[in-house]
A and B are shown apart, each in its own frame.
Chain A
């Protein structure tokens, strides 16, 4: 279900590139086979293919790698600062603030006992989404999380984490039995079971769409406002346009932070609900 929807969304967005007016907006938001360094030029990226699957290196793939390398470097620096003393200074101190925030505000209240097992996954997801959202705000940067495939993958990973966590704690059969709350009359059980199984799938789907739509919508609004200048073909729109675009840009920074937090918090909430099913 999620894969078909992601294909549908991608196909529609690619169809929009044929339209002249919104061509350049879509060019900046969608994945493409070239890296742009405006105004210097662009690098063409290779098309690769494996058994009929298109695994060419596109702009979003390059930025996925950039985010991954940035994460590795950041946490290597932060971790090596602990070798000198128990109390970190400088950059590692800042990273510790964020990690303690994820542990104390997101993981501990929602998962409760046994949260340490899920903390690495939650931290990874939080920092990956945070870094990729922020890199998308840099000019010439591409937002990796505005690609429905990437957010669907993150949602599938959260789904696997939830099911694995629930099944390891409660047993496979016990997990499915525990989905239905206690004290439910017997005639309601079939409906409850179907609803709960559907709920297992709609929750990660909502996670994926929420992150994708928030990131894409913000960028479309900024590009549409700046594009007003070109559409109206006059420079007098520029002050208004740029002022509004700046305001939306600042809002985008807030949304980048909030969406990373919401994704992580909902993931840990689902993990908590799956692991401690008696709540």
Chain B
């Protein structure tokens, strides 16, 4: 039985859960901080985008492994 596709699907789904949870938490604290101090909104937005790109980098590592699994 060929479980590679199933494993790839599960892996991608779990990765998305982790990534979305992390970025969601990040975005919520960024919004809260912007609400408390609107002058710092620009700096907060820049830091938020950087952190989001790094978290997304991690979930894309897992995505690459899932693609390798699905295609081999």
Contacts from A to B (Cβ < 8 Å):
8-9, 12-13, 15-16, 19, 105, 206, 209-210, 212-214, 217, 220, 258-259, 261-262, 265
Minimum CB–CB distance from B19 to chain A (whole Å) comes to 12
Contact with A along B37-72 (1 / 0, CB 8 A): 000000000100110011011001101100110011
For A262, give its contact among B50, B61, B63, B64 (CB under 8 Å).
B50
For B60, give its contact among A12, A214, A265 (CB under 8 Å).
A214
Question: Quick one: which of B46, B49, B50, B53 has the most chain A CB within 10 A?
Answer: B53
Cα of A213 to Cα of B68 in the assembled complex, Å = 12
Contacts of A261 in B (CB 8 A): 50, 53
Nearest opposing residue in chain B for A19, CB measure: B71
Contacts of A19 in B (CB 8 A): 71
B56 and A214: CB pair below 8 A?
Answer: yes
Chain B residues 8 to 34 lying within 8 A of chain A, measured CB to CB, are none
Minimum CB–CB distance from A224 to chain B (whole Å) comes to 12
Given contacts A214-B56, A214-B57, A259-B53, contact A209 B68 (CB under 8 A): no
Contacts from B to A (Cβ < 8 Å):
46, 49-50, 53-54, 56-57, 60-61, 63-64, 67-68, 71-72
Contacts of A12 in B (CB 8 A): 67-68, 71-72
Contacts of B50 in A (CB 8 A): 261-262, 265
Minimum CB–CB distance from A252 to chain B (whole Å) comes to 13
Nearest opposing residue in chain A for B60, CB measure: A213
For A209, give its contact among B46, B54, B61 (CB under 8 Å).
B61
Contacts of A258 in B (CB 8 A): 49, 53
Minimum CB–CB distance from A16 to chain B (whole Å) comes to 4
19 contacts between A and B (CB under 8 A): A12-B71, A12-B72, A19-B71, A105-B46, A209-B57, A209-B61, A210-B60, A210-B61, A212-B64, A213-B60, A213-B61, A214-B56, A214-B57, A217-B60, A220-B67, A258-B53, A261-B53, A262-B50, A262-B53
Minimum CB–CB distance from A24 to chain B (whole Å) comes to 15
Minimum CB–CB distance from A90 to chain B (whole Å) comes to 27
For B68, give its contact among A8, A217, A259 (CB under 8 Å).
A8
Cα of A253 to Cα of B67 in the assembled complex, Å = 23
Cα of A209 to Cα of B71 in the assembled complex, Å = 18
Cα of A278 to Cα of B64 in the assembled complex, Å = 36
Cα of A8 to Cα of B67 in the assembled complex, Å = 12
A210 and B57: CB pair below 8 A?
Answer: yes
Cα of A143 to Cα of B60 in the assembled complex, Å = 17
Minimum CB–CB distance from B45 to chain A (whole Å) comes to 12
Given contacts A259-B53, A262-B50, A262-B54, contact A16 B71 (CB under 8 A): yes
